Amino acid sequence: MPQPSPPSASPSFATRVAALAEGQVAVVGLPWDEQSSFMRGAALAPPRIREVLHDGSGNLCTEHGADLGATPGWTDVGDVALTSGPAVLAEIEAAIDALVERGARVLSLGGDHAVTYPVLRAYARAHPGLTVLHIDAHPDLYDQFEGSRLSHACPAARVMEEKLASRLVQVGIRTMTPHQREQATRFGVEVMEMRHWTPSRRLELGDAPVYLSLDLDALDPACAPGVSHHAPGGFTTREVLGILHTIGPALIGADIVEFNPRRDTGTTTAMLAAKFYREIVGRLLADRGRSAR
């Protein structure tokens, strides 16, 4: 059975991208946590997610029945080699650019949430007018946080300033500050606060293709202890899967961010991230023929 295995350190990222067939689903690791405000460790996430995905304890089937171990059309191209400091933004953007230029639909593995801004800069060029579905405990709308405009507390503000999305729909939010409420109003962010959530709720996402940014701290800490910022009162795993499975428009890209292996209990959060990895790759594969705008 063709079994996608965790990529080794070589060949280089550029070589793996050059070998990609047109229109693949590509998984890429972005091991960067320098913009984490409270605790480092999210940079360790991509190799840890792959480790548990392939540890033999489960299979590679999605809930919709696709066996990713026997399904062509997707590749894990490994981690992007990143330096440090603000240069990393351009490095991430160039890596995603290289993938989308090959027609790839990309699942990025963070890293902290700061990776989403450069990812979306590249994504918005290839897919103008996309809708961003942002699942998070936090709105990440700070103009700046502790002196940094690149902080993992700021990506949604940067995305809206640069008009990288036609709509930003946030769900799971339960940590709004007055400043961030002002920012949400200013940018026209569609915020569904967690206090208003009901499990039967269906999101109205319109027709434009959707990019999903999944911050694992959107889940309740009971389901996802391995995150830097524990925000009680969050989603169950099943609720987030329900949101993912009922996205109406085409899903054209996604990221899974803020998994911090240093805070995990056993394999709980690593397995959760690996579960979303499978389900998102399955959905990206299923949607490849839709809305290729």
- Binding of Mn ion at residue 138 (CB under 5 A)? yes
Coil/strand/helix, residue 123: helix
Binding map of Mn ion across residues 158-177, x = CB under 5 A, - = no contact: --------------------
The residue from 113, 127, 158, 263 that contacts Mn ion (CB under 5 A) is: 113
Locate 30 and state its tokens. 């972005």
Which among 211, 217, 261 has a CA at the least distance from the CA of 240? 217
The residue from 68, 120, 137, 251 that contacts Mn ion (CB under 5 A) is: 137
Sign of the dihedral through C-alpha 174, 177, 180, 186:
positive
Stretch that binds Mn ion, among 40-48, 58-66, 89-97, 128-136 (CB under 5 A): 128-136
Stretch that binds Mn ion, among 3-11, 122-130, 134-142, 161-169 (CB under 5 A): 134-142
Question: How many residues in the shown chain lie near Mn ion by CB under 5 A?
Answer: 7
Nearer to Mn ion, 257 or 271 (CB): 257
Stretch that binds Mn ion, among 31-39, 98-106, 113-121, 283-291 (CB under 5 A): 113-121
The residue from 136, 220, 239, 264 that contacts Mn ion (CB under 5 A) is: 136
Q: How far is it, in rounded angstroms, from Cα 265 to Cα 44?
A: 15
Locate 33 and state its tokens. 């946590």
Q: How far is it, in rounded angstroms, from Cα 279 to Cα 140?
A: 25
Any alpha helices (H) in the chain, and if so which ranges?
A: 13-18, 45-53, 87-101, 116-126, 155-161, 178-187, 237-245, 268-286
- Binding of Mn ion at residue 279 (CB under 5 A)? no
Q: How far is it, in rounded angstroms, from Cα 188 to Cα 168?
A: 8
Nearer to Mn ion, 76 or 112 (CB): 112
Locate 123 and state its tokens. 């994504």
Stretch that binds Mn ion, among 23-31, 66-74, 107-115, 246-254 (CB under 5 A): 107-115
- Binding of Mn ion at residue 255 (CB under 5 A)? no
- Binding of Mn ion at residue 127 (CB under 5 A)? no
Burial class from Cβ neighbours inside 10 Å (0-12, 13-18, 19+) for residue 184 reads buried
* Secondary structure letter of residue 7 according to DSSP: P
Nearer to Mn ion, 60 or 137 (CB): 137
What minimum distance in Å lies between the beta carbon of 71 and Mn ion?
30
What minimum distance in Å lies between the beta carbon of 143 and Mn ion?
15
Contact yes or no for 104/16 (Cβ under 8 A) = no
Stretch that binds Mn ion, among 74-82, 101-109, 131-139, 237-245 (CB under 5 A): 131-139
Locate 194 and state its tokens. 């967690």
Residue written as tokens 């995305």?
A: 159
Contact yes or no for 184/156 (Cβ under 8 A) = no
Nearer to Mn ion, 17 or 43 (CB): 43
Binding map of Mn ion across residues 196-225, x = CB under 5 A, - = no contact: -------------------x-x--------
Which residues of this protein are in contact with Mn ion, per CB under 5 A?
A: 113, 136-138, 140, 215, 217
